[in-house]
A and B are shown apart, each in its own frame.
Chain A
Amino acid sequence: MAAYGRQPVLSSTSLQILFYLNGWYFAAFFIAECLMFVYKGVLLPYTQANLTLDVVLLLLFLGLEILRLFYGWKGNLCQRSLALFVSVCVLVPCAVLSVYYLILQTFVLRLEFVLNAVLLCFYGLELVLGLMTISVFLRGNIY
């Protein structure tokens, strides 16, 4: 139902595109990371504690990312600034986890480095666009 002549649509298309592509990219990233952990676990001299830590953090990453993308998607489409704000807040631990997998984990593969770098590019763009969209929503608030 088009709101002709009543209120303009404030949702950000670019942010929506980024969330959509980020969802697909993270799905591929998660599958790739799982396979790489199998590869690393077999080949490299891991201690049990380190391997467990890395795998558990990967599962935590999955949960946080799903949460972030869901809140961002719904917040952007329904023009609710609170949901979008929660999404931006959850972006911080997600970025920390991404940096962990980029440089701080026990054994970093080149492929992991590149994949996490691309993910951080996504996060940077989403942070900027998310903050801009929140300000747009707060200024032109309808409810």
Chain B
Amino acid sequence: MPVQIILVPARFLTLIAHLVIVIIIFWSRENSVRACLPLDYSDEEYRSEDTRLVVALSVTLGLFAIELMGFLSGVSLFNNNQALLSIGCHASGCVALLFFLFEQWTCSIYWWIFAFCRSVKLQSLFSLI
């Protein structure tokens, strides 16, 4: 039984789940921004942290678009290692972002999550091409 029967939907679902969580964090970023700042903060600091988080989330969404195109065009559909890597990265990214959202971690951790999940994926994607 070909293993793609499990890999393709798993890859798609973890990708969409990751995307959904990123969109929700984008939408409710007020709490996250307030978690990053010290207890007494000024409007300036709030706006700069907000901008930084918006930039991080926008870059994430851009890379999602590229990855979705790569998935739907079927270029890496039969490469099992690529699919497993994708599933692993997105699943771990989902869990990390859920913690980020619910436990109100600081914004710098978002960059770590981003760097970890994205750089691994980009490396594998470029090695394919």
The answer to whether A and B assemble together is yes
Interface residues of B, CB < 8 Å — how many?
12
Task: Report if B70 contacts A (CB, 8 A).
Answer: no
Say how far A1's CB is from chain B's closest CB, in angstroms.
21
Q: What residues of chain B lie closer than 8 Å to A17, measured between beta carbons?
A: 72
CA distance A56 to B8 in the complex (A): 31
Task: Report if B65 contacts A (CB, 8 A).
Answer: no
Q: Check if A114 sits within 8 Å of B24, measured CB to CB.
A: yes
CA distance A63 to B20 in the complex (A): 25
In the complex where A17-B72, A110-B27 touch, is A118 in contact with B20 (Cβ < 8 A)? yes
Q: What residues of chain B lie closer than 8 Å to A20, measured between beta carbons?
A: 9
Main secondary structure of the interface of B (DSSP, over half): helix
Task: Report if B28 contacts A (CB, 8 A).
Answer: yes
Q: Check if B20 sits within 8 Å of A115, measured CB to CB.
A: yes
Task: Report if A24 contacts B (CB, 8 A).
Answer: yes
Task: Report if A66 contacts B (CB, 8 A).
Answer: no
From residue 90 to 105 of chain B, which have CB atoms closer than 8 A to chain A? Answer: none
B residues at A contact (CB < 8 Å): 9, 12-13, 16-17, 19-20, 23-24, 27-28, 72
For the complex with contacts A21-B12, A28-B17, A114-B23, 20 further pairs of A-B residues with Cβ separation under 8 Å are A17-B72, A20-B9, A21-B9, A24-B12, A24-B13, A25-B12, A25-B16, A28-B13, A28-B16, A110-B24, A110-B27, A110-B28, A111-B20, A114-B20, A114-B24, A114-B27, A115-B20, A118-B16, A118-B19, A118-B20
